[in-house]
A and B are shown apart, each in its own frame.
Chain A
Amino acid sequence: MKKELEEIVGADNVFDDPEILDKYARDRSLFAQRKPSCVVQPENTGEIQAIVKLANRWLIPITPVSSGAHFNGATIPSQSGIILDLRRMNKILHIDKRNRAVRIEPGVTWGQMQKELYSHELMPLIPLLPHQSTSALTSTLEREPALIPKTEYGEPILTLEAVLPHGELLRTGSACVGPPDETQTDLVGPSGPGLDWHRLFQGAQGTFCIVTWMNIKAPPLAKREKVFFIPFQNIEKAVKPLYAILRQMLGAECFLLSRFNLACILAKKWSADFDTLRKELPAFTLILCISGGTILPKEKIGYQEADLRDIARQLKIRLETSLPGVDGKKGTALLTTLRSCWEKEPYWKERFKERCCDIFFYTTLNRIPYFTRLVNTVAAANAYDAGNIGLYVQPVDGGRHCYVEFNFPWNSKEREGIYDLYVNLSRCLVNEGAFFGRPYGLWSELVYNRNSALTATLKNLKNIFDANQIMNPGKLCF
């Protein structure tokens, strides 16, 4: 098999050195490691197709990987096999400034894309401070929420090309009529023909296909911005203002961070700055950016600020333009930090301890306080210090619901305890109605066991696409 793989991608791009395999055997999550048989780094779609066909012949599983750091166990091979490392495919294929879209390969990182888009006066729909090696394509495919909660940005994918588990190519939406370079196809229509295939591939953890390029929405870069910080002493008090701001569709970036998370992000000197910030920052901070374009930008910011001040008066909340304890940085500079990649090691979530366990789900805004209390209670029962739990709330879809992420930093000697906490808390959250839309690891069992008909249908579909079960087996309900 190795020889055949070398014929496809060249000997320099096939690896079975135990040290290299060891790197792919684990990630930064709590999940058990498993070594792959080999690692292959293809350069183009044709090579991926050939590898997939070979894997079908040999009946060997394939686990696609496109980022350099992984946090949820999705790329740990459940049954060994081939790791398909897509990081050599890192081209930004096209930036369409007029139609505000960018077409990228899977190895393109958020930082790489952001830099290019800025030079075209566009910006990426970036999640909160992704790791510098995180693939923008995979992150979008896995539905990581963007910082801007506008409804239209909740569906960022326009079209994509995928290699299916038997090696065939499928292009979705308006890309269906032919390869982008050979036809006049426009690449912006996400629907059909017939089924909306890309929705079936989203959140699938590489179990349905390997995406080779994706055309994604890219909003225009604002010419003028003003950032507000709204402090809250407890999470209960944040709910009403969030509803009010989001229902008026005010601003662009809008998200809430706990003191702990903000201190981890903003501390320059570890741990002195971190300790100071933990004392001085408010318990929770809502960060809201209002922006103006090229036509009457000052007026645009003006009316938004007036509307925001109205809300602030009515709800008796404070609007700040800088944060206590953060010297010399005005709001816009801080936001620039928050909407970039995290360029250094350790990753911001891993500054406090070696690793960080994230538990994330969707719910409605009014249930955040309840889930926060539940998390603190379960954490206390598992002897975890509630003061060290991070919280990130990202409103989605105009505030109709929100993505809630609790962060639990841990050291290697705490692995067992944190695993128990992860299991107990996940169970409690599912029982109380938290919606685990991206069910990684243990969550897949908790989610799919409760919905047998849906699970059976997904399995049926999986069998259609991947009769030999070679695509990342062991993930989701497969």
Chain B
Amino acid sequence: MQLSELVKKLKRIVGADWVRQDELHKYYYSVDIATYFGQGAIYPENHPLLIIYPGSAKDVQAIIRLAKQNDIPVYAIGGGTVLLIGSIPGKPDTGITLDFHRMQKVAVDQERMVIRVEPGATGLQVCQLIRHMDFGYRPYFGGSPGTSHFVPYQIFVGQNKLAGYQDGMGINCATGMEMVLPSGEIIRTGSMAHPHAPAWPHGPGPALTYLPFIANAGYGIVTAMEFRLFATPQKTSSLWVMFDTLSAAVKGMYAVIKQEHGCGMCLMGHGCYVHCLYSSRHWQEGVHFIKATKSDIHLVGMAFRGSQSKVAYEREACIKTLKQDGGVPLPSWMVAILDGHETNTAGWQPNNNMRSLGTFNGKYDTGGLFVTSGVFDTLEKLEEHMKQGLQDFSEVCTSYPEFINTPYPSFRLYTSCVQAYLAMGGHANAAGEFIFMVDYANRKQLPLVGELSERFAKTMQTIGSAPLSLGRDKRTWTECSAHFEMAKLIKKTLDPTGFMAPGAAFPASTATGD
């Protein structure tokens, strides 16, 4: 089919205003952090042919059917801030990209304690709607820069560090899914499988609710999702405790988790001031925090929620426990800086991050984060991971001293922030990552970033951590070949011609990914 004919048909489906093919739009949908320099800038900027803004699941269904008939690749983008190349075409000048900014409906079901959202709905929309209903939700840490404020992304990959072990990761909060399959059929799962289904994500029978997770639209496009709401607690509070050594901090965390106190917990390692930037109301506040803390502190943060007496009891018990391992609770003025985290405990998010991170290089538009070496592991293995990672980091920095000397020493450019946070019931299943603050506009950083990525990948393999399983994570598909083979088979069955997100859902070199 001629492109002009395709455009005409697509305009008939979504309306003339919602089909774009100008160069600016094409450029916008061809770049993100991974094409820019993350992961060593190994991914090219591939332009789509067209950008479409569907207004409903029916629009999506019609577009998919048209694309299938004409063998045109389809890519999908929600908030556009995920930055992990999942929405960028696998080849230059290929396919149509669906942008869901028009699909923004949110609806609360108070009886079932779930909210139904479309893919373009934002965290802010959800927050504003539910806080008057005495509900909260568990987004990805709302203060995290570089990640989407858009709800589906938060739910798909995120976790609330300070509510993680009671409520689990974002994925645990999803209860049902409406998805347009590559065949054009719509499936509804879990809480959406039946008009009266409770907020139960499983079944009937095997759970398909989780099929589209981390698949970059390779199996279909989610047009609505339901996820859990949580009753606003009577009281919330947080506690931040400093430790001199990583081992002491980890020991203290184990002791607290064993008691099942608090609702979530995180450990910010060396360079944890990055977190005070996430959570502070303005950057000066963050600077105060940095000056008041030692450079090599290990900060354990935890949150409490429930009745007045529950929160008071748990705080006291945790202070007692952590002091036994040498912990020193932070004074209240410092804790105030971490208010953003505390807000998260109540179930809302502050959305304050872009602003504060932008300040790190004196500009508001180019600052950001580079995250590498993300793992899920036991807390004790994460300890090993963090120690080795820090050693890698200091060795790489020795080779590139120019990156340590910056005009903004209070932020110590390119110093690492190591953190661990507990999720999935705190059952020893912690997540860790190394985070680097970087300047997007400065391409001189590329060699440093590339070398760090490579060294951390080796460290992960040495200590036996499983890969994080993002779409193009090479280890997912090389070390876990059985999984890859099954995933390819599923892909082939649901999408025999491979027109859904080719090159995005799987590594581009594979048969199904290309």
Contacts and interface: CB of A to CB of B under 8 A. Distances in A.
Interface of A: 96, 98-101, 143, 150-153, 155, 158, 164, 168-171, 173-178, 183-186, 188-197, 199-205, 208, 217, 219-220, 247-249, 293-296, 299-300, 302-304, 306-307, 310, 362-364, 366, 396-398, 400-402, 432-439, 444, 447-448, 450-451, 453-454, 456-458, 460-461, 463-465, 476-477
B317 A152 contact: no
Contacts of B189: 454
Given A176-B479, A457-B187, A400 B466 contact: no
Contacts of B463: 184
B237 to A, nearest CB: 14
Contacts of A302: 313
Which 10 A-B pairs rank lowest in CB-CB distance, beginning with the nearest? A433-B196, A184-B464, A192-B469, A152-B425, A99-B428, A401-B198, A193-B469, A174-B466, A189-B376, A437-B203
Nearest to A475: B205
A406 B187 CA distance: 30
B207 A219 contact: no
B1 to A, nearest CB: 27
Contacts of A303: 307, 309-310, 312-313
Given A197-B486, A295-B321, A177 B207 contact: no
A306 B210 CA distance: 40
A217 B425 contact: yes
Contacts of A219: 260
Nearest to A247: B231
A320 to B, nearest CB: 22
A150 B320 CA distance: 25
A366 B109 CA distance: 14
Contacts of A436: 204
A439 B468 CA distance: 33
B321 A460 contact: no
A114 B124 CA distance: 46
Contacts of B377: 174, 186, 188-189
Given A174-B466, A433-B196, A248 B378 contact: no
Nearest to B427: A217
Nearest to A306: B309
B480 A177 contact: yes
Nearest to B263: A249
B426 A447 contact: no
7 contacts: A152-B424, A183-B464, A295-B317, A303-B313, A397-B199, A397-B228, A444-B205
B200 to A, nearest CB: 5
B504 to A, nearest CB: 13
B205 A458 contact: yes
B186 to A, nearest CB: 6
A203 B309 contact: no
A214 to B, nearest CB: 14
Contacts of A294: 258-259
A453 B489 contact: no
Interface string B153-185: 000000000000111110110000000010001
A299 B321 CA distance: 14
B206 A193 contact: no
Interface residues of B, number: 90
Interface string B455-479: 0000000011111110101001001
A476 B206 CA distance: 9
Contacts of A164: 486
A177 B166 contact: no
Given A170-B483, A195-B210, A195-B211, A188 B476 contact: no
Interface in B313-353: 313, 316-317, 320-321
Given A176-B480, A295-B321, A433-B196, A192 B214 contact: yes
Contact of B112 (A151, A155, A401, A458): A401
B254 interface: yes
B40 interface: no
Indicate the member of A100, A188, A196 with the most B CB atoms within 10 Å.
Answer: A188
B202 A364 contact: no
B16 interface: no
A152 B165 contact: yes
A99 B171 contact: no
A97 B17 CA distance: 60
B496 to A, nearest CB: 11
A202 B376 contact: no
B428 A203 contact: no
Contacts of B72: none
B146 to A, nearest CB: 21
B464 A177 contact: yes
Contact of A194 (B214, B312, B313, B494): B214
Given A170-B482, A191-B171, A203-B205, 4 more contacts: A155-B424, A293-B258, A400-B112, A464-B493
Contacts of B486: 164, 170, 195, 197, 464-465
B193 interface: yes
Given A170-B486, A194-B483, A293-B260, A476 B205 contact: yes
Given A96-B428, A151-B168, A299-B313, A185 B464 contact: yes
B127 interface: no
A194 B490 CA distance: 12
Contact of B465 (A174, A249, A451, A453): A174
Contacts of A306: 309
Contacts of A150: 166
B79 interface: no
A244 to B, nearest CB: 10
B381 interface: yes
Contacts of B198: 362-364, 400-402, 435
Contacts of B494: 457, 460
Nearest to B490: A464
Contact of A296 (B213, B316, B464): B316
Contact of B204 (A193, A196, A447): A447
Contact of A400 (B113, B381, B493): B113
Indicate the member of A152, A174, A194, A398 with the most B CB atoms within 10 Å.
Answer: A194
Contact of B188 (A185, A299, A454): A454
Contacts of A202: 202, 206-207
Nearest to A436: B204
B473 A364 contact: no
B317 A296 contact: yes
Contact of A439 (B203, B376, B378): B203
Interface string B81-125: 000000000000000000000000000000111000000000000
B401 interface: no
A276 B60 CA distance: 64
B56 interface: no
A152 B427 contact: yes
Contacts of B187: 451, 453-454, 457
A98 B427 CA distance: 10
A307 B254 CA distance: 27
Given A435-B194, A453-B187, A191 B169 contact: yes
Given A186-B377, A248-B307, A477-B205, A364 B490 contact: no
B208 interface: yes
Contacts of A152: 165-168, 424-427
Contacts of A366: 111
Contacts of A100: 258, 427-428
Nearest to B196: A433
A333 B501 CA distance: 59
Indicate the member of A196, A205, A306, A436 with the most B CB atoms within 10 Å.
Answer: A196
A376 B463 CA distance: 59
Contacts of B188: 451, 453-454
Contacts of A203: 202-207
Contact of A307 (B310, B482, B483): B310
A199 B207 contact: yes
Contacts of B313: 296, 299-300, 302-303
B409 interface: no
A184 B464 CA distance: 5
B487 interface: yes
